[in-house]
Amino acid sequence: MSTDPYILAQEAAKALKSATGLESFDVALVMGSGWVPAADAIGQTLSEIPVTELPGFAPPAVAGHAGRVRVTRTEAGRHALIFLGRTHLYEGRGVDPVVHGVRTAVAAGARTIVLTNAAGGLRPEHQNIGDPVLISDHINLTGANPITGATFIDLTEVYSKRLRALVREIDPSIGEGVYVAFRGPTYETPAEIRMLRTLGGDLVGMSTVLEAVAAREAGAEVLGLSLVTNPGAGLVGEPLNHEEVLEVGRATATRMGVLLAKVVDRL
């Protein structure tokens, strides 16, 4: 097994095609904390395998992340590759494992990557718990980048305007916002939340941005979608709890799955 992350992604893509019996995939989705049940609404499951059966993937380390990859056929006949969980930077495995799923998906033919996450809402004055929010841009405060060396990638439009417009055609009520990523695993302090609001952030979490950068490096189109599962620390005076994050995801799973299914069928 190669130690080069790009070759390793090619090896994983080859193993994925062999395990699923498919030569290519139309779209890949990465499901965030609590989003796993939403995958059931996207289409008919053709196969599902543990990610650890593929080169370069680590076992799941976070509650709400199943550590499986599912192949689904949508109503329109598209083949969707769904990662039921992800590796996070705070797990201490390094940057390459965080983006390995995205690189594998693109190597397997997926030209569209849909990244979902559970996020803290920085604007409770106009965000409700359980609201989906399109990611229009991001602020990377993880201190990491999946690209090394003199490879200069334009990030003027990380999250596709075309795909965001498509989602708004399906659900005109959906809002947009800037996603801020921290390394984690600690939640942010109230002072940090005040800082992020001043910087123009609307959502905060511990994932997505490194995957989005890796997808753009690979030439894929990216759609980012956050589920507001809690207000940011200090905004309502209640402590933050991961189980509550998962519960909001479970409660809204069907709605999120139906939305994703409509989006995937119109890509």
Active-site residue list: 188
Q: Which residues contact 237 (CB under 8 A, 6 or more apart)?
A: none
End-to-end CA distance of the chain: 34
Residue that has been written with the tokens 């005109």 in this structure: 172
Q: Which residues contact 24 (CB under 8 A, 6 or more apart)?
A: 17, 79, 108, 109
DSSP SS3 for 97: helix
What CA–CA distance (Å, rounded) separates 60 from 64?
9
The C-alpha angle 46, 49, 50, rounded to 5 degrees, equals: 155
Dihedral in degrees, nearest 10, Cα atoms 76, 101, 245, 206: -130
DSSP SS3 for 107: helix
What CA–CA distance (Å, rounded) separates 147 from 159?
18
What CA–CA distance (Å, rounded) separates 256 from 149?
38
